[in-house]
């Protein structure tokens, strides 16, 4: 897997999303809960805007000095007995991890939830060298068993219902219990506990690396990242190069923003910072620790007008606020990074060719920008993407033609007046109670997903003329 | 210990940022706002205990409060509630100080107590994995979020708070601080003065949980399924 998750065309993906009643219901209820959680936490603090300002300042300073902090981080990790590998591409990162797996002759790799390893397709690479890879986050495990991509970056299996999960467990793991969430989770606990204990290598992502001490901070609720880093003898952390803070003090602020913005928790159940290979006689520390720092297209964003997109702390608050995500769901974005942040970074990381529709999957209502705990101007980035796409003449041809046509049509008063008057009778057959529900020709794309007000027969100009006349006569 | 591909990688970043590579001389700026310092500022230890108690309800954690004289009986009551026969605990001087060593001795055959022993290596994990209860002392306690901070060392393995079915934290009242800010500052200052941070620092907030199945909150996933905090005055 890479950032892109499939070959289904954009419109078809949207249709699939819109027709999936369970998914839409689940997404809308999840959005409601996540948003309420975030807003409650923000209200309780009373000075949420100060927190957001601080978050933005920290991210801006860190990205402006990224080379310095990554240098410091690598020095500290090495000083604490760890190995650091800088990978410019996904292939280099995968190659390095594979080489460790082979050197260790590892048969089983247990993983904690990580977006960057999804991005670089690490699981597939490890399976190529014969390792069994087990995802240990409950949501990720469900998706792995079902060979399905994530649809949300915090709750990846949001689109699945419990009956589907029970069936997957039954088919893949011989589960015979009910579909109550508690029983399903208890089964996962029992199964995965064995995997934790028998794994040779643990692989994690990274929420925040701390430059001053060479520590890796992991944020979870389930405790799986703790298992992954405590039980296997070799631990490999893969991090996107921008996931770093200067010191513990900034880590603390960003973790507080992350857990509040993501799930409305003051802190998640487990926040863990691991540093290097363990010291002597430490049973729960790995004997060998590797940190893989991944670029994979991020440096193309650095130094550009999109740099603040690298400030993202992957909380999904923008996703939870987005009215478009609410209706089409995560898979419609065809990226492991869905929602507004996905629409911003996916074209930056992988280019416009495969993802040129994404900046248009937005109403530009700016709910995302307002929700972002580090104040990334997401909707402004989306507008800029659209400008670039149009400038490159990669904009949807229909829209360009329509805009050209509209300009010619609307700038000639005689033609405009006539066609506005003509439109009502012409569209009569498609009109019901003043709304067009299933329009012909160019209207079809619009009315497939929403209704269109039928022309009123009286244009604004004729109404205004009439009003002036009435006024004069009074 | 190796660092591979660093120079080319970081040179590229500097060039993208249109400046020379920086390897020294970068200072954190004075942040324009510090809202984290304001939370529960000036609260007494007792007020912080009240904040913690209130938040324990949110994090599905049983809250108990006692003094040193009462600790043994509160601990006993907690172990009974968890049907805890086997216990794994840290090799911590505070056990003696708080009378827990004595309590365990008095229980004799009733309880199977394993004190973490660095000399037996991985065997500790196997014992912890089978244990009913993991018992630790909180090193720094965060009132706002209901979090116990553990500096895990060779005598205080992280498995204690992770592998057993249930988790009991003893919280000396003096360990309470308003929030994570104070714990982070403590670690930062130690690090800055040349004292390395332990290889594991755990911030634990109640039992493990997940909302990955239809957004239903399930308490007890990979880590402990139940948790009790005992605040000791």
What are the residue ranges spanned by the domains of chain B? Answer: 42-232
Residue with tokens 């923000």: A42
Q: If DSSP codes are grouped into helix, strand and coil, which group holds residue A151?
A: coil
The pair of structure tokens assigned to A8 is: 């289904």
Closest CB to A269 among B32, B209, B215: B209
Of the candidate ranges A73-82, A231-240, A408-417, the one whose mean pLDDT is the lowest? A408-417
- As for how many domains chain A has, the answer is 2
Query: With bands split at pLDDT 50, 70 and 90, how would you rate the model's confidence at A437?
Result: low
In this complex, do A138 and B142 lie within 8 Å of one another by their Cβ atoms? Answer: no
Question: Which H/E stretch holds residue B226?
Answer: strand B226-232
- Asked if A27 contacts A325 with a C-beta cutoff of 8 angstroms, the reply is yes
- Which chain A residues are closer than 8 Å to B139 by Cβ? none
Summarize the confidence of residues B184-210 as an average pLDDT.
Answer: 96
A288 pLDDT above the threshold of 60: yes
Chain A residues close to B124, C-beta within 8 Å: 283
Are A422 and A291 in a shared domain?
no
Reduce the DSSP state of residue A7 to 3 states and report it.
coil
Are B227 and B62 within 8 A, CB to CB? Answer: yes
Instruction: Please tell me which residue of chain A has the smallest CA distance to B201.
Output: A273
Top pLDDT among B12 and A394 is at B12
For residue A335, what is the DSSP state?
B
CA atoms within 13 A on the CB side of B10: 21
The CATH topology of domain B42-232 is: Rossmann fold (3.40.50)
The reply to whether A144 touches chain B by the CB within 8 Å rule is no
Which one of A251, A267, A296 terminates a domain? A296
Q: What is the pLDDT of residues B68-115, one digit of tens each?
A: 999 999 999 999 999 999 999 999 999 999 999 999 999 988 899 999
Q: How many CA atoms lie within 13 A of A378 on its CB side?
A: 35
pLDDT of residue B212: 87
Model confidence, pTM: 0.89
Q: Compare CB distances from B208 to A30, A54, A223 and report the shortest one's residue.
A: A223
Q: Nearest CA of chain A to the CA of B7: how many Å?
A: 9
Residue percentage of chain A with pLDDT more than 70: 86
- The predicted structure's pLDDT at residue A149: 87
In this predicted model, which residue has the larger pLDDT, A457 or A165?
A: A165
Q: Which of B119, B192, B209 sits opposite A221 (nearest CB)?
A: B209
Sort strands B147-152 and B140-142 into parallel, antiparallel or unpaired.
antiparallel
What pLDDT is recorded for position A461? 74
Query: Chain A partners of B17 at a C-beta cutoff of 8 Å?
Result: 64, 66-67, 302-303
- ipTM value, please give it: 0.97
Helical residues (DSSP H) of A80-214, grouped into ranges: 90-103, 115-120, 122-128, 138-146, 162-173, 181-198
Q: pLDDT at position A84, please?
A: 98
pLDDT of residue A452: 63
Chain A residues touching B208 at Cβ < 8 A? 221-223, 269-270
CB contact under 8 A, A65 and B202: no
Q: What is the pLDDT confidence band of residue A457, given thresholds at 50, 70 and 90? A: low
As a whole-number percent, the residues of chain A with pLDDT over 90 amount to 72
Q: Is the Cβ–Cβ distance between A62 and A244 less than 8 Å?
A: yes
Residue A74 lies inside a defined structural domain of this protein: yes
pLDDT number for residue A272: 97
Q: Please give the Cα distance from B2 to A271 (Å, whole number).
A: 27
Summary mean pLDDT of chain B: 96
Mean pLDDT, range A246-266, rounded to an integer: 96
For residue B205, what are the contacts with CB-CB under 8 A and spacing of at least 6? A265, A266, A267, A268, A269, A270, A271, B59, B145, B146, B147, B148
Spatial distance between the Cα atoms of A353 and A236, rounded to a whole number of angstroms: 33
Per-residue pLDDT tens over the stretch A14-59: 999 999 998 888 888 889 888 899 999 988 888 999 999 999 999 9
Residue A237: inside a domain: yes
Q: What is the mean pLDDT of chain A?
A: 90
Q: Who wins on pLDDT, B216 or B159?
A: B159
Predicted local confidence at residue B222, as pLDDT: 92
CA distances B167 to A91, A220, B81, B128, B161, Å, are 42, 17, 12, 11, 6
Do the annotations mark residue A318 as ligand-binding? yes
User: When comparing pLDDT for A403 and A340, which is higher?
Assistant: A340
pLDDT at residue A395 above 60? no
**Per-residue three-class SS string for A70-108:** HHHHHHHHHHCCCEEEEECCHHHHHHHHHHHHHHCCCCE
CB B48 within 8 A of CB B40: yes
Q: Is the pLDDT of residue A397 over 80?
A: no
* A278 occurs within a structural domain: yes
CB contact under 8 A, A86 and B6: yes
Q: What is the pLDDT of residue A207?
A: 97
Q: A24 in a domain, yes or no? A: no
- Which domain, by its residues, includes A439? 416-473
Max Cα distance, chain B (Å): 70
Q: CB–CB of B99/B72 below 8 Å?
A: yes
Confidence of residue A92 (pLDDT cuts 50, 70, 90): very high
Tokens of A252: 């603390």
The pLDDT assigned to B204 comes to 98
Distance CA(A352)–CA(A44), nearest Å, equals 41
Looking at residue A265, its pLDDT comes to 93
Among A296, A322, A338, identify where a domain stops.
A296
* DSSP three-state, residue A292: strand
Shortest distance, CA B142 to any CA of chain A (angstroms): 10
Number of C-beta neighbours around residue A321 at 10 A = 24
Coil, strand or helix at A289: strand
d(Cα A298, Cα A307) in Å, to the nearest integer? Answer: 9
Closest partner CB to A26 (pick from B29, B192, B214) = B214
| Band of residue A312 on the pLDDT scale cut at 50, 70, 90 | very high
Q: Which residues pair with B219 in a beta bridge?
A: B209
CATH of the domain at A106: 3.40.50.10420
Q: Is the pLDDT reported for residue B161 higher than 80?
A: yes
CA dist., res. B56 & res. A459, Å (int): 63
| A165 assigned to some structural domain | yes
Question: For residue A173, what pLDDT is reported?
Answer: 95
- Which of chain A's residues have a Cβ under 8 Å away from the Cβ of B128? none
Whether residue A272 is found in the same domain as residue A125: yes
* C-beta atoms of B208 and A78 within 8 A: no
Which domain-ending residue is among A270, A296, A322? Answer: A296
Pairing state of beta strands A201-204 and A108-111? parallel
User: Which residues, 6+ apart, have CB-to-CB distance to A91 below 8 Å?
Assistant: none
The answer to whether residue A25 sits within a structural domain is no
Q: Which of chain B's residues have a Cβ under 8 Å away from the Cβ of A183?
A: none
Spatial neighbors of A308 by CB under 8 A, at least 6 apart, are: A59, A60, A63, A376, A377, A381
A289 and A436 co-located in one domain: no
Interface of A with B in 324-383 (CB under 8 A): none
pLDDT of the residue at A462: 76
In angstroms, the Cα distances linking B28 to A59, A67, A214, A311, B25 are 11, 14, 17, 17, 10
Q: What is the pLDDT of residue A279?
A: 83
Instruction: Give the pLDDT confidence score for residue A206 in this predicted structure.
Output: 98
Residue B122 tokens, joined? 């991985």
Nearest chain B residue to A247, by CA:
B188
What pLDDT was estimated at residue A460? 73
Taking the CA of residue A321 and the nearest CA in chain B, the distance in Å comes to: 17
Task: Give the pLDDT score at A421.
Answer: 67
Nearest CA in chain A to B128: A284
Task: Give me the helices (H) in A216-316, please.
Answer: 224-230, 248-263
Least Cα distance to B23 among B15, B31, B14, B32 occurs for B14
Confidence of residue A451 (pLDDT cuts 50, 70, 90): low
Of A200, A201, A192, A202, nearest to A169 (Cα)? A192
Residue B103: its pLDDT value, please?
95
Confidence of residue A449 (pLDDT cuts 50, 70, 90): low
Distance, in Å, from the CA atom of A415 to the CA atom of A422, rounded to the nearest integer, reads 10
Helix axes A181-198, A162-173, angle to 10 degrees: 40
- Is A435 a residue whose pLDDT tops 90? no
Distances (CA, A) of A349 to A87, A103, A153, B140: 15, 31, 17, 41
């Amino acid at each position: 897997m890479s950032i892109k998750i499939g070959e289904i065309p954009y419109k078809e993906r949207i249709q699939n999303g819109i027709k999936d009643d369970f998914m839409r219901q689940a997404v809308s209820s999840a959005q409601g809960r996540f948003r309420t959680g975030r807003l409650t936490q923000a209200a309780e603090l009373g000075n949420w805007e100060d927190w957001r300002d601080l978050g933005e300042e920290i991210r801006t300073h860190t990205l402006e000095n990224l080379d310095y902090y990554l240098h410091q981080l690598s020095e500290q990790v090495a000083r604490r007995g760890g190995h650091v590998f800088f990978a410019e591409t996904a292939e280099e990162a995968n190659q390095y991890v594979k080489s460790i797996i082979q050197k260790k002759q590892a048969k089983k790799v247990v993983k904690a939830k990580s977006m960057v390893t999804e991005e670089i397709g690490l699981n597939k690479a490890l399976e190529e060298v014969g390792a069994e890879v087990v995802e240990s986050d409950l949501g990720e495990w469900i998706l792995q068993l079902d060979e399905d991509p994530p649809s949300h970056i915090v709750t990846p299996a949001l689109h699945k219902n419990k009956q589907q999960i029970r069936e997957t467990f039954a088919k893949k793991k011989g589960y015979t219990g009910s579909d109550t969430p508690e029983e399903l989770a208890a089964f996962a606990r029992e199964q995965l506990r064995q995997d934790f204990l028998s794994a040779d290598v643990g692989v994690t992502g990274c929420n925040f690396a701390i430059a001053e001490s060479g520590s890796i901070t992991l944020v979870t609720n389930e405790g799986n990242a703790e298992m992954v880093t405590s039980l296997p003898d070799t631990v490999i952390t893969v991090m996107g190069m921008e996931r770093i803070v200067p010191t513990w003090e900034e880590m603390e602020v960003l973790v507080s923003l992350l857990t509040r913005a993501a799930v409305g928790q003051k802190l998640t159940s487990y926040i863990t910072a691991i540093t290097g290979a363990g010291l002597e006689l430490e049973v729960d520390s790995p004997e060998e620790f590797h940190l893989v720092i991944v670029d994979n297209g991020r440096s193309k964003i650095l130094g550009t007008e999109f740099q603040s997109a690298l400030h993202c702390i992957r909380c999904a608050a923008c996703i939870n606020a987005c009215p478009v995500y609410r209706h089409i769901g995560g898979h419609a974005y065809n990226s492991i990074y869905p929602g507004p942040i996905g629409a911003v970074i996916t074209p930056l990381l992988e280019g416009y060719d495969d993802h040129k529709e994404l900046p248009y999957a937005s109403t530009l209502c700016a709910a995302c920008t307002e929700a972002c705990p580090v104040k990334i101007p997401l909707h402004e980035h989306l507008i800029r993407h659209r400008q670039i796409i149009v400038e490159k003449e990669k904009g949807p041809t229909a829209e360009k033609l329509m805009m050209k046509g509209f300009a010619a049509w609307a700038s000639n008063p005689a033609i405009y007046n006539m066609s506005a008057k003509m439109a009502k009778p012409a569209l009569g057959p498609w009109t019901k109670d003043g709304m067009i529900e299933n329009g012909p020709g160019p209207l079809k794309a619009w009315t497939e997903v929403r209704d269109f007000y039928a022309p009123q027969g009286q244009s604004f100009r004729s109404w205004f003329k009439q009003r002036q006349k009435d006024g004069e006569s009074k | 210990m190796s660092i591979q591909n660093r120079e080319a990688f970081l040179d590229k970043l500097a060039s993208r940022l249109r400046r020379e590579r920086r390897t020294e001389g970068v200072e954190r700026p004075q942040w324009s706002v510090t809202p984290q310092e304001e939370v529960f500022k000036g609260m007494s230890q007792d007020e912080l205990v009240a904040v913690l108690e209130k938040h324990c309800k949110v994090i599905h954690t049983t809250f108990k409060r006692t003094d040193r004289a009462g600790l043994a009986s509160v601990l006993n009551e907690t172990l009974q509630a968890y049907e805890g026969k086997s216990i794994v605990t840290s090799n911590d001087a505070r056990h003696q100080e708080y009378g827990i060593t004595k309590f365990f001795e008095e229980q004799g055959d009733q309880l199977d107590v394993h004190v973490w022993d660095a000399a037996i290596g991985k065997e500790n994990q196997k014992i912890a994995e089978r244990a009913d209860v993991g018992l630790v002392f909180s090193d720094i306690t965060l009132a706002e979020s209901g979090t116990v901070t553990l500096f895990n060392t060779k005598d205080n393995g992280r498995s204690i708070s992770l592998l057993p079915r249930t988790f009991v934290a003893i919280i000396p009242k003096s360990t309470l601080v308003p929030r994570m800010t104070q714990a982070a500052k403590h670690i930062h200052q130690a690090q800055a003065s040349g004292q390395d941070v332990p290889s594991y620092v755990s911030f634990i907030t109640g039992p493990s949980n997940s909302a990955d199945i239809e957004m239903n909150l399930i308490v007890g996933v990979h880590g402990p399924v139940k948790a009790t905090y005992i605040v000791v005055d």
